[in-house]
Amino acid sequence: MRIQGTSARKGFAGLELVVVVAVVVVVAALSTPQIFKAAKRAALAEGINNARQVKLVLDTFATDFDGQFPNDDTGKGVIEGGAGSTYSNDYFRQLFLAGATEAESIFWVKNSGVASKGAPDDKIQQKGRMQPELILEQGDAHWAYISDQGNLDTGSRPLILDGYQAGTSEWDPGIWDNKVIVVRIDGSAKAMRMRISDGRVLDGSGKDMLSAQSDAWDGESPAELLKQPWPGAEVKAKVGKGPGGTLTTKEGREIRATLVGVRGDKVLLQISSGWVYRHPISDLDAGSQKRVREFTAKEKE
């Protein structure tokens, strides 16, 4: 005898499956903007935190240099010949050479309009020795820097801020949704709104933050002191194969710089940013020392 009864259905009917998929799609569509905004806020918070850490390192540096932040004069105090003066990378490099930090990552920002897409490798030493040419290489820094300042200058003056887009004199409005991260000498750090009409950032009195008219500058022109980061290049700069050929240390490390001269017992090496530094000839392998001698002989001809 057949017994009638209800049996549990397994799975979904076609119509039910369509309804479930539709609900999932609608929920995802509603959630995506919120997720995107949350990710933006998190990235902004991380950027501000990085900039604050750079400021702390600058303060550490200033305690050893009579209150001065990195400038051309302090550069000579951390390395013979100075540490460069073209890009913000050159001034930030002093912080490493002075022993104030070893973290390249705090100078970089994800999705930067000027830095490389990949984060710095933090490889700045070889067998325990600091290698200047490895510190904050091309594309390793996002932050612009206003030089020739000290920790006793007007506290409201900007010191660290987002760098301009590569090859321009404008900030990238897409990084922080029309905002610019600014860290001042007094340590305050925040994202300031860009004026939509011209991209300017205004101070509390409604004046361009980077103009001599801004109250913080007392008539000085910060534009002349503003150092932009060394942008990550789409076209790889040719380094290490200059007139003297590629040089190698006795430890087997290839030097990624161009031989441009010889001064006493040191060679003058230039990286693609234009910064020239000195390296002991005695640290080079036999082949490289031979190339240095050949280079010197040609210079005398």
Q: Which two tokens stand for residue 90?
A: 């050159």
75, 94 contact by CB (below 8 A)? yes
CA distances from 114 to 75, 118, 139, 201 (A): 24, 12, 7, 19
Q: Does residue 1 carry a pLDDT above 60? A: no
pLDDT of amino acid 143: 98
Q: Is the pLDDT of residue 22 over 90?
A: no
pLDDT of residue 235: 27
Please give the pLDDT value at position 234: 40
Could you tell me the two tokens for 85?
A: 């003066």
Q: What are phi and psi of 38, to 5 degrees?
A: -65, -40
Rounded-to-integer distance, Cα 133 and Cα 270, Å = 9
pLDDT in tens, 86-140: 999 999 999 999 999 999 999 999 889 899 988 999 899 888 888 999 999 999 9
Q: pLDDT tens for residues 261-270? A: 888 899 888 8
Cα angle at 220 between 217 and 226, to 5 degrees?
85
For 62-83, write each residue's pLDDT tens digit.
Answer: 999 999 999 999 999 999 989 9
Separation of alpha carbons 206 and 208, rounded Å: 7
Report which listed range, 20-29, 146-155, 262-271, is most confident.
Answer: 146-155
- 24-28, 43-47, 154-158: which range is least confident on average? 24-28
Give the CA distances from residue 7 to residues 1, 13, 103, in Å, rounded to whole numbers and listed in that order: 17, 15, 66
Task: Assess contact for 87 and 70: CB atoms under 8 A.
Answer: no
**Model's pTM, two decimal places?**
0.78
Nearest to 270 by CA among 240, 294, 300, 292: 240
Provide mean pLDDT across the span 263-289. 86
Write the pLDDT tens digit of every residue in 206-247. Answer: 999 999 999 999 899 998 899 999 998 642 333 344 455 678
Instruction: Provide the β-strand partners of residue 261.
Output: 268
The Cα-based distances of 133 to 83, 89, 97, 125 in angstroms read 10, 11, 11, 10
Mean of per-residue pLDDT scores for the chain = 86
CA distance readout (Å), 102 to 12, 58, 107, 135: 59, 13, 11, 9
Distances, alpha carbon 75 to alpha carbons 70, 72, 97, in Å: 7, 5, 9
pLDDT digits (tens, 9 = 90+) for 152-180: 999 999 999 999 987 788 898 889 999 99
What pLDDT sits at residue 236?
Answer: 37
**Does residue 61 surpass a pLDDT of 70?**
yes
Listed residue (69, 55, 16, 41) closest to 177, CA to CA: 41
Domain limits, the chain = 41-227, 247-300
Q: What count of Cα atoms within 13 Å lies in the side-chain half-sphere of residue 6?
A: 2
Confidence (pLDDT) at 139: 93
* Strand ranges (E), 41-162: 125-126, 129-130, 143-146, 158-162
- Tell me: domain 247-300, CATH 2.102.10.10, correct? no
- Determine the pLDDT at residue 295: 87
pLDDT at 284: 92
Q: Is the pLDDT of residue 18 over 90?
A: no
Asked whether residue 8 carries a pLDDT value surpassing 60, the answer given is no
